[in-house]
């Protein structure tokens, strides 16, 4: 039986939840789902300019868990940007 998931602190609630390539309708696009945890980890690192330890502390998680979350966000964002996919924040 897997260990129960810990509650992580997310202080950012985005007003805009979809991003898509210009000129292509949504019905023709594949959608990549970015979780609130992933967008919060990305925001702390690149907008607030915090290092991994400080970001992990703010999210109330370990540094290794924070690293897994941020790398998941990096992969999804890179996939969407390089392959012309939409991003949904949920």
How does pLDDT run along the chain (90 residues), one tens digit per residue?
666 666 566 666 778 889 999 999 989 999 999 999 999 999 999 999 999 999 999 999 999 999 999 999 999 999 999 999 999 998
- CATH dotted code for 18-89: 1.10.10
Model-wide pTM > 0.85: no
CB atoms within 10 A of CB 19: 15
Cβ-based neighbours of 66, under 8 Å, separated by 6 or more: 41, 52, 55, 56, 59
């Amino acid at each position: 039986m897997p260990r129960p998931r810990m509650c992580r602190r997310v202080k950012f609630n985005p007003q805009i939840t979809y991003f898509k390539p210009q000129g292509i309708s949504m019905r023709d696009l594949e959608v990549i789902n970015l979780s609130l945890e992933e967008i919060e980890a990305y925001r702390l690192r690149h907008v607030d300019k915090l290092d991994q330890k400080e970001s992990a502390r703010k999210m109330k998680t370990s540094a290794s868990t924070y690293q897994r979350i941020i790398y998941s966000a990096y992969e999804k964002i890179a996939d969407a940007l390089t392959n012309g996919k939409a991003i949904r924040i949920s």
